[in-house]
Copies of this chain bind each other. A is one copy, B any other.
């Protein structure tokens, strides 16, 4: 990306092993993330030009001398953070704050080759080379599925719970899928787009609320005996969506927020009186990867459905435009 709105695909030097813990992978599929739209829209500053992309799945080509858990020829999925998976923070399940973490975005996963630092702690191999129709789902585990899953876990979605999801982007839709897998009793998707509502229902939504803001909160309360949802996933990252999430949560309930909270300020008194639990941030996807890969491999979930536009990598600029204008939920790029 050369600046807001300016995405170019160009030849760059092939990545090479730098550290003995690195792996080089041939990217089978990459994609455009909702968070890539922040710089694309000029809301987030970067040093231009910047390599883009942090979601990836592909075949290992080469590994450094110290890599022991993956080998050339394996199909692997990694998180958008490279992590050691051994530090105290990783062991507690918070890989996204690993003391050795490296942001994959800086390396640029929207490419045909990718260097993955800390390969042992970052990559998870699938049982075999996947059939082509599983690749999109496996790619989704790299971020959007893992992030939606974390949102649902952070919101403590589970049996007996009413879960509301604010945001109908790929992450919000996959939070619906996660809530369903986690056993939620009722899942309310907040969406005003017919195609996204349809996908939310496919993923397990039992109710749809089209209203936003205070009207959206009132609608959730009406569906929950005046109390609010037990669990609310926030998957947008704006002031309005965050307030909608907190106010739609019952006292003692849980907000899981995974939208990158740009320009959001939480009023302390409001939070105090809400008595909600609030937890979120960059998803520790690596924690969930083995489980998510299993679910996909066994065809128990089909998160790849969020990709409604597939383009060759060369047409990445078109993909960004489609996401920006919400013509596409999620764009898959094939190198």
Q: Which of B89, B227, B282 is in CB contact (< 8 Å) with A273? A: B282
Q: Which of B88, B250, B262 has a CB less than 8 Å from the CB of A268?
A: B262
> Does A242 reach chain B (CB closer than 8 Å)?
yes
Interface centre among A93, A239, A260, A275 (most CB of B within 10 A): A275
Are B281 and A279 closer than 8 Å at their CB atoms? no
Contacts A88-B227, A264-B269, A265-B267 known; A252 to B93 CB distance under 8 Å?
yes
Q: Is the CB of A271 within 8 A of B278?
A: yes
Residues of B within 8 Å of A96, CB to CB, are 251, 275
User: Which residue among A89, A94, A267, A272 has the maximum number of chain B CB atoms within 10 Å of its CB?
Assistant: A272
**Residue from B93, B94, B260, B271 within 8 A of A272 (CB atoms):** B260
Q: Does A47 contact B (CB under 8 A)?
A: no
Assembly CA distance A275 to B281 (angstroms): 5
Distance to closest chain B CB from A242 (angstroms): 6
Contact call B251/A261, Cβ cutoff below 8 A: no
Q: Does A266 contact B (CB under 8 A)?
A: yes
**Interface assignment of A92: CB less than 8 Å from any CB of chain B:** yes
Question: Whole-angstrom distance between the alpha carbons of A97 and B265 in the complex?
Answer: 24
Which residues of chain A from 212 to 257 have a CB within 8 Å of any chain B CB?
A: 225-227, 237, 239, 242, 250-252, 257
Residues of B contacting A305 in the complex (Cβ-Cβ under 8 angstroms): none
A116 contacts chain B at the CB level, 8 A cutoff: no
Contacts known (A265-B265, A265-B268); A275 close to B97, Cβ less than 8 A: yes
Assembly of this chain: how many copies? 2
- A251's partner among B94, B268, B272, B276 (CB-CB below 8 A) is B94
- What is the chain B residue whose CB lies nearest that of A276? B279
Given A272-B282, A277-B277, A279-B278, A265-B266 contact (CB < 8 Å): yes
Q: Does A74 make an interface contact (CB < 8 A)?
A: no
Report the Cα distance A281→B268, complex, angstroms.
Answer: 9
A78 at the interface (CB under 8 A from B): no
Chain B residues lying within 8 Å of A267, measured Cβ to Cβ, are 264-265
Expressed in whole angstroms, the Cα–Cα distance for A310 and B251 within the complex equals: 36
Alpha-carbon distance between A92 and B282 when the two chains are bound, in angstroms:
29
Q: In the complex, what residue of chain B is closest to A267 when comparing beta carbons? A: B265
Residues of B within 8 A of A263 (CB): 268
A280 interfacial contact with B, CB 8 Å: yes
